[in-house]
Each structure stands twice: as C-alpha cells, then as structure tokens.
Chains A and B, each alone.
Chain A
Amino acid sequence: DIQMTQSPSSLSASVGDRVTITCRASQSISSYLNWYQQKPGKAPNLLIYAASSLQSGVPSRFSGSGSGTDFTLTISSLQPEDFATYYCQQSYNTPLTFGGGTKVEIE
C-alpha cells in the first residue's frame, strides 16, 4: 500500500496568512494526488485534483504543486472559512489511501 504522510498535523495561523501543507507519498505517484477540505460534521470536499488542477467553484487562493513523491497545498491568503482539516489522497493505485490530515486553526 502507498502511505501518505502529511505535515504538519496541525497549525495555527491568522486571517491573511499564507499557509503551506505538505504531503509525501511512500513511492512515486506521478501527479495522481488530490486535496480535500473537511469541516466538522461534513464530508470531505474536493479542492485540487491531479496535483495542481483547481476544482470548479474552489477559490483561486488555493493551489497545489508537486509530482513524484512530494506535494504541497498552498492557501495564499487564509480566510475565516478556510479553518478546517485538509487531506491529501493518492489515486495512483488501489487501495486508494489518504494522508492523516492537517488541521488549520485560528491563531
């Protein structure tokens, strides 16, 4: 199985901050990497697919980069509605696996 490791597991930030979350795969997954946002009591919501493609309707302050084993999700200017938990997920092969999550909290 491909293991997905996110860092940090949590972070505190202020509105307007630039935030970067890292995801590392245990083997190369090309660009088969997706990012999701999850708010309490809700299902995960797709933000970025294929490492860097922005899902329709997602604000442009979200961006993704990387390929192979190392990926990043960047929020260019954190907004109040962005306080949530973020997950990466590899779609290179089955079993489809997720990272452990990064909780973004208000500083």
Chain B
Amino acid sequence: QVQLQQSGPGLVKPSQTLSLTCAISGDSVSSNSVAWNWIRQSPSRGLEWLGRTYYRSKWYNDYAVSVKSRITINPDTSKNQFSLQLNSVTPEDTAVYYCATYDRNYKYFDPWGQGTLVTVSS
C-alpha cells in the first residue's frame, strides 16, 4: 500500500523559506489516479489545505488563496517524491505540516505522512 515519509527541518527563521519533502512508496508520483497534497494544522487555523500537484498527461498545481503568492509544490519523478516550499515565512506559519494522498475517484485524503512540526522563530 502507499506510504508517505516526510523530511525537512523543524525550525525556520522568519522571512526565510520552509522546505519539506514527501517520499512516496507503493505508488508513482506520476500516477493519474491521485493528487499529492500538503496540509498544515495549527491551534489557530485548524486543518488547512495548502495545495496539491498531480499528473494528468501533464503536471498541474492548485494552491490555497491564503498562501498562493508564497507556495510552490513540485514533483520529483527521479526520486518519486514531491516537495513543499513556502517563502517569506512568519511565526503564523508555525504548524504541523502533513503530506497526504488524495484519491481522484473517491475524493478523500488517505494515507497521510507522519507530520512535521515546523516552528518559525529567530
């Protein structure tokens, strides 16, 4: 079955870039039947979908309006993984970040990565 393994730093300085990676096993990042997502969770904002990348003969991205000017989600076909970059972070970006698979047919998030607590602080 599909498994997701997250990696990346847990501490980022204000104004810098948050970067996380999600390694996929059991499926291909180029699969036509899923989308690859980033979601974050904080006490103030709850569970917040940030965006996704997916392949349907070519690559597509969708991003939440709240982060659209600062976010990039990229697939890496050579390593079968995808990444999150969030620029110009502030303390309000402190959260647990999850990667998650979105099933195209049944329209749910499953499975999820293990989560990474990212703290924005100097």
Contact = CB atoms under 8 A, between A and B. Distances in A.
Chain A: number of interface residues, binned into ranges:
20 to 34
A95 B114 CA distance: 22
Interface in A29-49: 32, 34, 36, 42-46, 49
A63 interface: no
Contacts of A32: 107
B17 to A, nearest CB: 22
Judged by DSSP, the binding face of A is loop
Contact of B98 (A43, A49, A50, A94): A43
Contacts, number: 51
A95 B64 contact: yes
Contacts of B49: 94-98
A46 B108 contact: yes
Interface in B12-57: 37, 46-49
B51 to A, nearest CB: 9
A98 B47 contact: yes
Contacts of B62: 94
